[in-house]
């Protein structure tokens, strides 16, 4: 396996990490089973994938609670990443909140649900237009001083915001979307390279569509993440995704692996990418995705996947 530094207290992490949005289930992904979740986490750890990424918004605490159960006796094996900044407002709807006092409370709540004393990395989930970035970063630095987090990071940021943050704090990681369907991160990747900040890609499977399992437009609920967050499941976007998925499937057949592993392998060889997160809801999916670490795509194969020639 290839490992890459994530500047987390001198530790290293594999270039693949387990994301737990789908694991948290709820309205975003449908209900998930506790045993399946535990099996998925254990399969990741057994495969050497020790970076696990979660957030309070993933099932509104359920993903964190499932992780707590799965990690009993194995916490020291894990580089645990969590996030702040998305909360339920008084109307019960998701909202931004990066006020310093809210960040401190959110962190304590996550630590309680996860049944741990610290987080290896704590990331701002989304920028909050109502709160100055300096205020949010100040709260994260306070959490570092208190020993509740080991490092801080940023998700879903522009290059300009990243550069501004890097001038104010030690940013250990940036987490932005990147896939064969969403490959427009040049400015952020360039900023990461300039500031020597690892870039972690998420959404590399396009919410699951690049696994090749969807052959016709699915009819998801409006609250399903594959309807409101990933714009690949309807109309022309679905047709384009199917073309990309067909190329992935073709190459996967040649390499005798799951299509998802090829899609992840492409993200791993994308210039400037330090690591890639993937979602899974059972041990089998983890094992299929983990095979990406063993795949070596040639430059020509990567170009074929991206451009079709």
The catalytic residues are 58
**Pair type for strands 171-177 and 121-124:** unpaired
* Selection from 64, 2, 15, 10 nearest residue 199 by Cα: 15
CA–CA gap between residue 56 and residue 83 (Å, rounded): 7
CA–CA gap between residue 12 and residue 8 (Å, rounded): 7
Judge residue 156's burial from the number of C-beta atoms within 10 Å of its C-beta, 0-12 exposed, 13-18 middle, 19 or more buried.
middle
- Please state, as a whole number, how many other Cβ atoms lie within 10 Å of the Cβ of residue 247: 20
Side-chain-side CA neighbours of 183 within 13 Å: the count stands at 17
């Amino acid at each position: 396996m290839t490992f890459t530094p994530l500047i987390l207290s001198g530790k290293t992490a594999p270039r693949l990490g387990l994301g737990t949005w789908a694991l948290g289930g709820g309205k975003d992904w449908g209900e998930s089973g506790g045993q399946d979740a535990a099996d998925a986490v254990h399969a990741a750890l057994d495969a050497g994938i020790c970076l696990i990424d979660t957030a309070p918004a993933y099932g509104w605490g359920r993903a964190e609670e499932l992780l707590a159960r799965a990690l009993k006796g194995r916490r020291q094996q894990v580089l645990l990443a969590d996030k702040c900044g998305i909360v339920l407002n008084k109307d019960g709807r998701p909202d931004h909140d990066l006020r310093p006092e809210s960040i401190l409370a959110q962190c304590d709540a996550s630590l309680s649900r996860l049944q741990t004393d610290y987080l290896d990395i704590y990331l701002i989930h989304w920028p909050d237009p109502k709160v100055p970035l300096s205020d949010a970063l100040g709260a994260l630095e306070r959490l570092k001083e208190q020993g509740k987090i080991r490092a801080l990071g940023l998700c879903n940021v522009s290059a300009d915001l990243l550069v501004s943050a890097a001038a104010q704090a030690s940013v250990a990681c940036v987490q932005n979307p990147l896939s064969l369907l969403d490959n427009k991160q040049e400015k952020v990747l360039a900023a990461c390279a300039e500031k020597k900040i690892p870039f972690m890609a998420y959404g590399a499977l396009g919410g699951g569509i690049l696994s090749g399992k969807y052959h016709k437009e699915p009819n998801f609920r409006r609250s399903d993440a594959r309807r409101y967050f990933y714009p690949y499941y309807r109309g022309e976007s679905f047709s384009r995704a199917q073309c990309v998925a067909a190329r992935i499937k073709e190459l996967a057949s040649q390499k005798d692996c799951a299509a998802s592993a090829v899609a992840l392998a492409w993200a791993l060889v994308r210039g400037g990418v330090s690591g890639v997160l993937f979602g899974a809801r059972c041990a089998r999916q983890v094992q299929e995705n983990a095979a990406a670490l063993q795949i070596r795509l040639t430059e020509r194969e990567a170009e074929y996947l991206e451009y079709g020639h």
